[in-house]
Amino acid sequence: MQRSLEKSNRQFQRAVKRLPLGVASNFRYWGDDKTIYVKRARGARLWDIDDNEYIDYRLGYGPAILGYADPRVDEAVREGIEIGGVFALATEREYVVAERISKMVPAAELVRFSNSGTEAVMAALRLARGYSGKDGYILVEGGYHGLFDAAQWYAAIEEMENEADQPEIKAYGKGIPKLLKRLIHQVQLNDANQLEEVMRRHADEIGAFLIEPIMGNCCSIMADAEYLQAARSLCDRYGIVMIIDEVKTGFRVARGGVQEMMGVDADLCTFAKAIANGYPISALAGKEEIMRHIGGDGVAHGGTYTAHSACLAAADRTLEILDETDALADIESYGRRMQEGIGKILSARSLAHVYSGHPSMAGLFFAEEVPRNYRDWLRSDYALYDALAANLHEEGILCEPDSREPWFISSAHDDACLEETLAKFETALDATLKTLPGNHSS
Ligand code: PMP
């Protein structure tokens, strides 16, 4: 039976009269008749206003690491609300949470809070410029760092005629000042020679190298540890601030994030998402020598809503749980078992597939080899993924419709979720293979 989105469709028609695209964030619009409106979510499950039930592998793009409405975190938030909100003054808990972050991430010698990933990365880039005195920066093809102007650029690989070409750097839509483009240098992931060449030639104008070592917005395509270590040395050699954007990987792929996983310390790093199980708080952290440039006649940082008492309480409790329980190991184990189960289903149909990234946020690729950079994504069978995703939604498995978003797992995903996911995956896959033209098996 087809899933009904009747109420969601009606809500869309009402909402679009007052909200552009009928939603509060462009990414939530999936089409006039496909946009989902949520009634509630608990643990790993979410219900829409038509009462369709889903096992959720989007988790709001990652934040709900302990599952939606985790009672331990929500209890802490209630107590945090009682403190009173924001005061344009500091509270004691800011220090407590900063201490916890420093303990979990050694490079986080000093910490400042913000409200979103965008704000944290924006602050990191400003601080890197303030410290280095250089405005240029390096972006990695396929990376995503938020909605501020300097980060709203991408490599137009789909338009490249020749693989050896450099892709054009384009703005994500209108309203981004064109002159910013002059400050950007773009490199491919996992090509240390190219990185060195760019740094050597432009060292006097590049202040920051911005990287997501697991590209959480690009199928979790992952840097090799050796590449990241080489990048670390190059940044040191050329006086460039290394910003590791851990907005998605932070407190998820390991207690100390991707830096722990790959044995590399950033100069500056940014956290959001998993830090507070979905409450809006983020952090900019890094080496004391650089972070001390905040304030005085140095770098401006702050904001009215920074370190709200409810969000700070959520971060305090969430990080305590992630640091002191086996939550992350459980998440990783679920991810591995799901990959094995899905792998068996795909192999039985002779479908070539690989996973990229970390099991807690893995990308599923219909390709023979694990992708090493964004351009490899083009070579995968993403048409199959796109069609499959639509059928998974029909079955009640919520993954991102765009194959560039990984599958996120929370500690609330249990054995019942896994069994149900695998059964529904098989049904959705067979439905997809029946309808899709062409040969999708290898
Ligand atoms: N950096 C990365 C790596 C992200 O994944 C995101 C969001 N997906 C951001 C920055 C921006 O975070 P936010 O949406 O909270 O502004």
Q: What is the pLDDT of residue 402?
A: 85
Cβ–ligand 1 contact at 248 (below 6 Å): yes
Dist. CA 419 → ligand 1 center (Å): 31
Is it the case that residue 437 has pLDDT exceeding 80? no
Q: What is the pLDDT of residue 160?
A: 86
- Angle at CA 108, nearest 5°, toward 104 and 111? 110
Please, which contacts does 225-228 make with residues 24 or more away whose CB atoms are closer than 8 Å?
225/261, 225/262, 225/263, 225/264, 226/192, 227/189, 227/190, 227/191, 227/192, 228/262, 228/264
Q: What is the pLDDT of residue 162?
A: 81
Q: Which tokens sit at 85?
A: 């909100």
Assess contact for 66 and 412: CB atoms under 8 A: yes
Q: Which tokens sit at 196?
A: 């060195």
Which ligand 1 atom sits closest to the C-alpha of 249? Answer: 3
Least confident of 109-123, 164-178, 314-328: 164-178
Range 377-394 average pLDDT: 89
Residues annotated as catalytic are 144, 245, 273
Is it the case that residue 442 has pLDDT exceeding 60? no
Which ligand 1 atom sits closest to the C-alpha of 246? Answer: 3
Q: What is the pLDDT of residue 1?
A: 60
Average pLDDT, the chain: 96
pLDDT band at 83 (very low <50, low <70, confident <90, very high): very high
Dist. CA 352 → ligand 1 center (Å): 31
Q: What is the pLDDT of residue 61?
A: 96
Looking at the DSSP bridge assignments, the partners of residue 97 are none
Cβ–ligand 1 contact at 118 (below 6 Å): yes
Cβ–ligand 1 contact at 61 (below 6 Å): yes
Mutate to test the pocket of ligand 1, among 27, 116, 144 (most ligand atoms within 8 A of CB): 144
Q: What is the pLDDT of residue 161?
A: 81
CA dist 153 and 143 (Å) reads 9
Dist. CA 176 → ligand 1 center (Å): 18
Q: What is the pLDDT of residue 436?
A: 80
Mutate to test the pocket of ligand 1, among 28, 145, 153, 270 (most ligand atoms within 8 A of CB): 145
Dist. CA 144 → ligand 1 center (Å): 7
Range 355-359 average pLDDT: 96
Cβ–ligand 1 contact at 116 (below 6 Å): yes
CA dist 136 and 154 (Å) reads 16
pLDDT band at 439 (very low <50, low <70, confident <90, very high): low
Is it the case that residue 414 has pLDDT exceeding 60? yes
Is it the case that residue 438 has pLDDT exceeding 80? no
Q: Which tokens sit at 147?
A: 């909605």
CA dist 210 and 225 (Å) reads 16
Range 65-70 average pLDDT: 98
Q: What is the pLDDT of residue 104?
A: 98
- H/E segment holding residue 318: helix 309-324
What's the pLDDT tens digit per position in 207-244? 999 999 999 999 999 999 999 999 999 999 999 999 99
Residue 349's nearest CA partner among 419, 429, 421 is 429
What's the pLDDT tens digit per position in 20-48? 999 999 999 999 999 999 999 999 999 99
CA dist 300 and 320 (Å) reads 30
Which ligand 1 atom sits closest to the C-alpha of 273? Answer: 15
Report which of residues 436 and 363 the model is more confident about.
Answer: 363
Q: Which tokens sit at 257?
A: 């994030």
Cβ–ligand 1 contact at 252 (below 6 Å): no
As a whole number of Å, the CA-based R_g of the chain is 22
